[in-house]
Structure formats: structure tokens, C-alpha cells
């Protein structure tokens, strides 16, 4: 057992468990640990945000916003990186960091999108959730670049555990490459999307067009009533914070649930500087060192288990900065792997066009998910000139009020014309898997430090030729599929946007069977420091082509339940 502080002051700072980060995975760690009776401290580097109370723009009409939702030049200048994010606007900027206040070193261009507050980016995420299949867990080993220590069957019950509590809408599609889950009723495709599905699947029988799966309550069940949440209102203003609790977030769901146990303490404005090694055992952590974000004072907290859920790159930063005589290169970093094999999702390819007809077809509300197509490349075997594959998302909508920006006119007749829907437009995008590479890494700067005295992170992550070939294939196949669906005037684009803007960075502290080739074991514990668990994106040996958040959540609840069992056995 680890040695524990014995002074009165130290005992007041001692908990059963510490969770670093309050976002999607950190909230789940807190819920599971508190439910099992552990006194749990959640450390959040940002400000407190209380559900409903602290969503100042959630119900604001566009005309009540000073700039009608647009970003003034001064704001763009203050947020040069974050302002590229899809969710960043005048009504959501309170949930994003100012780039200048949280610097990092871009050895290669990388757009690091961050939200430092209680709830983290769970307040602004895109809420798209899909399970991984056995092909996603097995494929990296087949292709020779990573090895998962677990498979789909081991994670499936934990996917179900998360889905039932969070509330996931979707159809049971019966696809081996995209397993079904515990679903609430799905959103409906509109008439044009159904027409497109027919055209695509007729021309490409091996490709499946299905309704997107998202973390929105389309139907209330008892567990959602108990969370004081209500049905999604189809406003699609989610990044403002949802006062209805219609979509899943830490603030609407897991953190309040943990709070009701009486076992939770949340400490905002707590910048974790490092994890402290127990010098007696040399194989256990004893606690964490925290810098107060406002006063800059240092405080130490202690616990038997530590869950590191600070967000992929910050999790890497904390471990790299957790140095000791035993671990001079960072906690658990026996083989120089820490910070290596960072990967992301490739969003570079997009297509758009128009589709004729359907003038009498309408839809209501702002559905919070698109139509999607599971990956159809290299699923069961290597078939293409590139490794791995991509998911495809698309949607069809009628032009509406936005046409006022491009049409000419004035007066009552012009305004009346804008109330009539315009032609149908289609947009299609890719979400491509990238292959983790040793050279894609993060490390600590030797000279640049942040306002809290912590070394800045150097990010050296970029695309490869494999990403170029995969993008080109999507654009080629996307054009063929849209043409088969009757789309005209198709515009194709490779944005070549910097990595990071996908907001799906993963790796650096990857799981694996062999301690010489990985940082974590099959239950997300550091091989060399078993009471430290990493269950956010940093733990991922590969990225898959699916949205990753559901897998983070399932890994977290699995690891938290394992931690509690090991504590009860006296092993932690």
C-alpha cells in the first residue's frame, strides 16, 4: 500500500479518488466512483458552470445578440485558432478558451480547440455517437500499426451501460461493421434524403445509408426523468448549453448524479501541474499538485486512485510534466512512448450540390444529426492503396432565410419571397481514420512556459501520404454516390485544414498488451503505475472512423468499475 499523509492538513486534502477533468469522460468517472461509495475529488482547471443557470445565451433570439451571432473582428483576433471551430460564435464564445491565454507551440500547424470550464467540451460537442465494431478493434493489429488489448465483446456491455443512462437515438440497422446499441427512437430522414438513400444503395449495394445516432433524448425513460432532463426540442442550438437537458453533457447528467450521492467534491480553477509519485513504492502515485488558476498558489491532494481525463493533449502534458527520479521522462514513461502515436480524424474532404424537384416537400425543426454511411473501405481485409477508411455524413435541406445574403431586392415583396423555401441543397463530408505514427507526437517545451509556470506543449502532428490518398478516394466516391442520387453541379473540396480542427485528437498514452510498446494495460492503468488510470482520448491505440466519445465513455465506466473492485480486494 502507498504511504499517505498523516498531518491534519494533509488528511483534509485526502480522498478515495481524484478525477482530473470534468468533461465527457471525467464526468463518467466521477459518477461511477461516487455511486460505488468513493469520496471523489474532481479537479477542473476552468471556471464553474452550473446546469441551466450558467447558459446565458441558451434562449436568446438572434436579434437580441449585439452582432446577431456574428463574430466582431476583435473577437476573431482574440481567438485566432478557436474561431475556426464550427461551434464557435457570438452565442457560444463563453465556452471556449482565449488562444492567447493558453499558448502552445505548433511545430507543425495544429488547431487545438479547448473549453476550460466545469463540463469541458461536453457543453459544445457535436453529440454524434457510434459503437466501434470488432473490425475496428482487430484491424490495427492486422495492419501492423497498433494492438488493442481488448475487443468488442469486452466493451459491449459498457457501451450498453452508457447508452441507457445518456440516452442515444438511433435505429437498429443490423450491421456488423456498426453494431446496434440501446436506442431511443431515431430522428427521421427527410424526403430528399430517403430518395438519395435509394439512389446510393441501388448503385452501391455494399454501402449502407442509415440515420445518424446522437446523444439526444427523443423519448423520456425513467433514468432520464430521474436526471431531471427533458426531450430534445430540435433547436440545434446545443453549443449554447441546453437548459432542457435534451442532449447528454456532464453538467446535465453525470456530475449532478454524482453530486446526489454526497460523495462528490468539484474544485474549479484547479490547474493540475503534475501527478506525484509515492517515492516509497516507486510504482504508485500518491496524489496531484494543483496550481490555483487565480492565485497561482500550489496545493497537493491525495488519493488511492487517480483518473486522468484532462482531454487528450492535456493528459499527455500532465504525464510528461510528472517527473521524478524513477520517471525522469514523465510518469510511467519507461520506453519513451509517452506523447507518441498521436492521431486524429481527417475532415478534409467535402462535397455539395443541388437536387431538383421536391418543391412541395417540407420538414420542421432542426434535426441534431445527419444521415451517415459506415466505413466501406478495408473493413474485413486490406483492399485499397491506402490503410483504413472513412465514415460519410450527408444531409439535404432547403435554402431559406440565408438566401437574403445573396438575392437582390428591397421592400415587402422581397421579404415575402424569403418566406418561401428555395431549392434543395446537399452537403457531404468525410470522417477519415488516420494511422498513428511514432513521429506524430507532443512533448514539453524546454523554455516556453504558461501563466502558471508549466511548460508549454509542443505539438508536432501532421498528415501523411496515406491521408492524401484516403481523402482523394472519398472525394471520388462521394461524387459518384451523389451523382447516383441525382445531385447536380457537384462542388468538390479538399480543405487541407490543419489537424486538430476535427477536435478528435487521440493517443500519446496508448493502451496495449506489451509494456514495451504501450503505456496502459487492458483496464487503462499505467503499466508502471497501476493506480493511475487514463480513459480519455489519450488512451486510444487507434482512431477508428467513428466519432470517439462513446468509446471514451464506455472505457471510463469499465475502468472505474475495475478500480473499485481492485480497491476492495486491496490491490489498489
Question: How crowded is residue 216: how many other Cβ atoms within 10 Å of its Cβ?
Answer: 27
- The dihedral over CA atoms of 545, 97, 536, 47, expressed in degrees to the nearest 10, equals -150
* Banded model confidence at residue 569, pLDDT cuts 50, 70, 90: very high
Question: Percent of the chain beyond pLDDT 70?
Answer: 97
Burial group, residue 101, by CB count within 10 angstroms (0-12, 13-18, 19+): exposed
Where b means 16+ CB within 10 Å and e means fewer, 109-125 reads: bbbbbbbbbbbbbbbbb
The DSSP line for 207-272 is ---EE--BSB-SS--HHHHHTT-----S---GGG--TT--B--IIIIIHHHHHTTT-EEEE-SEEE
What contacts 24+ positions apart, CB below 8 Å, involve 101-104? 101/451, 102/450, 103/448, 103/450, 103/456, 104/456, 104/457, 104/458, 104/459
Top-ranked range on mean pLDDT: pick from 273-282, 357-366, 401-410, 500-509: 500-509
CA distance 365 to 232: 11
Q: Are 107 and 342 in contact (CB under 8 A)?
A: no
6: pLDDT strictly greater than 70 = no
Q: C-alpha cell of 234? A: 430540435
CA distance 176 to 178: 5
pLDDT tens for residues 507-532? Answer: 999 999 999 999 999 999 999 999 99
Mean pLDDT, the chain, rounded, equals 95
Nearest to 314 by CA among 285, 347, 339: 339
What single DSSP character describes residue 454?
Answer: P
What is the per-residue pLDDT for 2? Answer: 45
* Banded model confidence at residue 417, pLDDT cuts 50, 70, 90: confident
- pTM of this prediction exceeds 0.85: yes
pLDDT tens for residues 324-365? Answer: 999 999 999 999 999 999 999 999 999 999 999 998 888 888
Kindly report the length of the chain: 572
pLDDT tens for residues 302-322? Answer: 999 999 999 999 999 999 999
405: pLDDT strictly greater than 80 = no
Q: C-alpha cell of 168? A: 442515444
Nearest to 234 by CA among 379, 139, 364: 364
5: pLDDT strictly greater than 60 = no
- The dihedral over CA atoms of 325, 326, 327, 328, expressed in degrees to the nearest 10, equals 30
pLDDT tens for residues 11-44? Answer: 789 999 999 999 999 999 999 999 999 999 999 9
Q: C-alpha cell of 2? A: 502507498
What single DSSP character describes residue 354?
Answer: E
* Banded model confidence at residue 8, pLDDT cuts 50, 70, 90: low
Amino acid at each position: 500500500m502507498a504511504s499517505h499523509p498523516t498531518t491534519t492538513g494533509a488528511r483534509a486534502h485526502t480522498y478515495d479518488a481524484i478525477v482530473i477533468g470534468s468533461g465527457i469522460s471525467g464526468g463518467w468517472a466521477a459518477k461511477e466512483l461516487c455511486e460505488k461509495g468513493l469520496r471523489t475529488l474532481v479537479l477542473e482547471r476552468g471556471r464553474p458552470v452550473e446546469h441551466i443557470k450558467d447558459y446565458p445565451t441558451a434562449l436568446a433570439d438572434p436579434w437580441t445578440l449585439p452582432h446577431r451571432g456574428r463574430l466582431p473582428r476583435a473577437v476573431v483576433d482574440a481567438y485566432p485558432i478557436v474561431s475556426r471551430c464550427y461551434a464557435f460564435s457570438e452565442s457560444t464564445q463563453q465556452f471556449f478558451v482565449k488562444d492567447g491565454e493558453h499558448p502552445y507551440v505548433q511545430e507543425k500547424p495544429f488547431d487545438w480547440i479547448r473549453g476550460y470550464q466545469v463540463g469541458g467540451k461536453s457543453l459544445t460537442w457535436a453529440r454524434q455517437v457510434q459503437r466501434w465494431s470488432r473490425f475496428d478493434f482487430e484491424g490495427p493489429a492486422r495492419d501492423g500499426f497498433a494492438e488493442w488489448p481488448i475487443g468488442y465483446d469486452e466493451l459491449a456491455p459498457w457501451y450498453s451501460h452508457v447508452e441507457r443512462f445518456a440516452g442515444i437515438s438511433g435505429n437498429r440497422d443490423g450491421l456488423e461493421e456498426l453494431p446496434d446499441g440501446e436506442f431511443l427512437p431515431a430522428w427521421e430522414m427527410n424526403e430528399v434524403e430517403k430518395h438519395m438513400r435509394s439512389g446510393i444503395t441501388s448503385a452501391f449495394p455494399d454501402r449502407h445509408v442509415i440515420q445518424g445516432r446522437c446523444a439526444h433524448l427523443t423519448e423520456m425513460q425513467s433514468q432520464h426523468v430521474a436526471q431531471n432532463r427533458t426531450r430534445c426540442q430540435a433547436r440545434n442550438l446545443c453549443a449554447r448549453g441546453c437548459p432542457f437537458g435534451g442532449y447528454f453533457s456532464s453538467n446535465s447528467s453525470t456530475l449532478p448524479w454524482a453530486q446526489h450521492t454526497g460523495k462528490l467534491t468539484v474544485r474549479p480553477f484547479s490547474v493540475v501541474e503534475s501527478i506525484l509519485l509515492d517515492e516509497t513504492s516507486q510504482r504508485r502515485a500518491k496524489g496531484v499538485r494543483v496550481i490555483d488558476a487565480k492565485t497561482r498558489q500550489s496545493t497537493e491532494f491525495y488519493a488511492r486512485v487517480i483518473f486522468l481525463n484532462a482531454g487528450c493533449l492535456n493528459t499527455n502534458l500532465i504525464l510528461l510534466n510528472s517527473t521524478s527520479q524513477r520517471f525522469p521522462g514523465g510518469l510511467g514513461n519507461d520506453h519513451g512512448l509517452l506523447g507518441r502515436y498521436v492521431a486524429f480524424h481527417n475532415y478534409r474532404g467535402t462535397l455539395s450540390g443541388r437536387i431538383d424537384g421536391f418543391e412541395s416537400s417540407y420538414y420542421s425543426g432542426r434535426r441534431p444529426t445527419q444521415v451517415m454511411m459506415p466505413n466501406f473501405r478495408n473493413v474485413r481485409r486490406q483492399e485499397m492503396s491506402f490503410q483504413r477508411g472513412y465514415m460519410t455524413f450527408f444531409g439535404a435541406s432547403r435554402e431559406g432565410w440565408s438566401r437574403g445574403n445573396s438575392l437582390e431586392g428591397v421592400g415587402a415583396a422581397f421579404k415575402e419571397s424569403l418566406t418561401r423555401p428555395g431549392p434543395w441543397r446537399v452537403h457531404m463530408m468525410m470522417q477519415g481514420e488516420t494511422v498513428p505514427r511514432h513521429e506524430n507526437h507532443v512533448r514539453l517545451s524546454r523554455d516556453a512556459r504558461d501563466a502558471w509556470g508549466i511548460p508549454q506543449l509542443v505539438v508536432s502532428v501532421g498528415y501523411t501520404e496515406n491521408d492524401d490518398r484516403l481523402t482523394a478516394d472519398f472525394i471520388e466516391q462521394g461524387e459518384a454516390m451523389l451523382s447516383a442520387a441525382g445531385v447536380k453541379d457537384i462542388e468538390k473540396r479538399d480543405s487541407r485544414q490543419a489537424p486538430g480542427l476535427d477536435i478528435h485528437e487521440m493517443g500519446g498514452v496508448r493502451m496495449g498488451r506489451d509494456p514495451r510498446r504501450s503505456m496502459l494495460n487492458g483496464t487503462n492503468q499505467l503499466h508502471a503505475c497501476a493506480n493511475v488510470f487514463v480513459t480519455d482520448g489519450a488512451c486510444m491505440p487507434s482512431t477508428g472512423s467513428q466519432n470517439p466519445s462513446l468509446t471514451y465513455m464506455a472505457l471510463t465506466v469499465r475502468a472505474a468499475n475495475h478500480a473499485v473492485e481492485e480497491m476492495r480486494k486491496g490491490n489498489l
